[in-house]
A and B are shown apart, each in its own frame.
Chain A
Amino acid sequence: MLRASSKLNKSGIDIKAVVDGNVDSMIPAGPSLASFAEALVSRNSNLERLRSNLVDEVGEQGMIEAAGTAANFQRMVRIADAIGIPLDDRSLSAADALIEELDIKTFHSASNTYRFD
């Protein structure tokens, strides 16, 4: 979805920023969004400060949107991993290049989702 958004908006987003914090995503407020999402997932004690920083950049409604999205995906990742769902057939053709680009074969859940030959 991120890649599709980047292409359709011709925004030049660097998708490697998803896995590498040193890469500039080219997304407005990207570092603040990333820090906020990661702090929420990891229960980081700096969450309050990072929330405040995010509000400064995207406003309160933007922060709420980010919290809703993060909360939703906290759910979706657990459903995917707890049910052991495979990748969708229509995703398989695009998966190889993306897996290579993001270097995510080492994720524990990869063996459940992406049934390597």
Chain B
Amino acid sequence: MYFDYQNTGVGVPDRFADAHQRAWTRLASPGMWWTSAEKIDIAAETRNAENVRDEYRNSLSPSMADPPQKVSLTLDESIVEAIYRITTDPARLSRDWFNTLIERGVKDTHYVELVSVVTTVLSIDDFHRGIGIELEDLPTPIKGDPLRRRPTGARDEGSWVNTVPPAQLDPVDDDIYGGRDSAPNVIRALSLVPPEVRALEDMHEAQYLTYAEMGEFVNLDRSLSRAQIEFVAAKVSVANECFY
């Protein structure tokens, strides 16, 4: 059983275990564009990136950093480099870098799903680092083929990849913004691969706040006040030099 927090000696609320187990099930399953084995390899490389974290962050230019010995046999160099850059030094990602990645043959759809896998694994791993417990073993891949469905309403909304406005969602995806007629860009960011928006919101609600709680600034029923929670969020954003 993955994420058996009851045996860690830390009183982790069930909502974390439930969300992390669902994330691991998604990670083990075929994606929209990547096979499950490739997704597990992406997860393994995300962890491997920790070995060069300081070298990447401290290099004068991120392209000058020596990549670590990759652990994946299936992912090509461009993909692995993207994983290391996103994991270790996100603030210095640029549109030029992204365009080069696309010119080297990486598909925008694959890139979006990769971003989701990398950030899911990093986030769950960092929760473990935060509370001081061992990282979870990566799951065993489940056989199957990627679905390979690109949303028909995807368009240029100013991000590096196309995103889907709420009014342009395909019927099969019409729940991904919770039925709302607007969605902030950070939620739309992964909408080129709609299931990843659901995955984002699932983790977001467990680790941070539900949509209902996000509108509650005074009487939040949590162990920290809303101001304390937002202060942590802001500190993490600043430590990563994230302007958004």
Residues on B with C-beta less than 8 A from A107 are: 91, 241-243
The answer to whether A69 touches B229, judged by C-beta atoms less than 8 angstroms apart, is yes
Q: Shortest distance in angstroms between B109's beta carbon and chain A's nearest beta carbon?
A: 13
The chain A residue sitting closest to B125, CB to CB, is A71
Given A78-B90, A86-B159, also A40-B231 (CB < 8 A): no
Cβ-based interface call for A23 (8 A): no
Count, chain A residues at interface, CB 8 A: 69
Cβ-based interface call for B4 (8 A): no
Q: Shortest distance in angstroms between B229's beta carbon and chain A's nearest beta carbon?
A: 5
Prevailing SS type, chain A contact patch: helix
Residues on A with C-beta less than 8 A from B91 are: 81, 107-109
- Taking CB atoms and an 8 Å cut-off, the chain A residues in 48-80 that contact chain B are 48, 51, 58-80
The chain A residue sitting closest to B158, CB to CB, is A86
Q: Shortest distance in angstroms between B46's beta carbon and chain A's nearest beta carbon?
A: 10
Residues on A with C-beta less than 8 A from B126 are: 40, 67, 70-71, 74
Cβ-based interface call for A1 (8 A): yes
Prevailing SS type, chain B contact patch: helix
The chain B residue sitting closest to A30, CB to CB, is B231
The answer to whether B244 touches A77, judged by C-beta atoms less than 8 angstroms apart, is yes
Given A18-B231, A81-B91, A108-B92, also A68-B86 (CB < 8 A): no
Given A33-B235, A72-B204, A72-B208, also A79-B189 (CB < 8 A): yes
- Taking CB atoms and an 8 Å cut-off, the chain B residues in 148-163 that contact chain A are 158-161
Cβ-based interface call for B16 (8 A): yes
The answer to whether B207 touches A69, judged by C-beta atoms less than 8 angstroms apart, is yes
The answer to whether B227 touches A70, judged by C-beta atoms less than 8 angstroms apart, is no
The answer to whether A64 touches B13, judged by C-beta atoms less than 8 angstroms apart, is yes
The answer to whether B217 touches A5, judged by C-beta atoms less than 8 angstroms apart, is yes
The answer to whether A37 touches B236, judged by C-beta atoms less than 8 angstroms apart, is yes
Residues on B with C-beta less than 8 A from A104 are: 238, 243
Residues on A with C-beta less than 8 A from B242 are: 77, 80-81, 107, 109
Alpha-carbon distance A11/B228, docked complex (angstroms): 12
Residues on B with C-beta less than 8 A from A62 are: 223-224, 228
Max count, chain B CB within 10 A of own CB: residue among A11, A62, A83, A113: A83
The answer to whether B224 touches A66, judged by C-beta atoms less than 8 angstroms apart, is yes
Binds A, one of B26-34, B36-44, B114-122, B164-172: B114-122
Alpha-carbon distance A34/B228, docked complex (angstroms): 10
Q: 0/1 per residue, B87-124, Cβ < 8 Å to A?
A: 10011111100100000000000001001101110111
List the 8 shortest-distance A-B pairs measured between CB atoms, nearest first. A67-B130, A84-B160, A77-B242, A61-B223, A75-B123, A71-B127, A2-B230, A80-B244
Residues on A facing B (Cβ under 8 Å): 1-2, 4-6, 8-9, 11, 13, 17-19, 25, 27-30, 33-34, 36-38, 40-43, 47-48, 51, 58-88, 104, 107-114
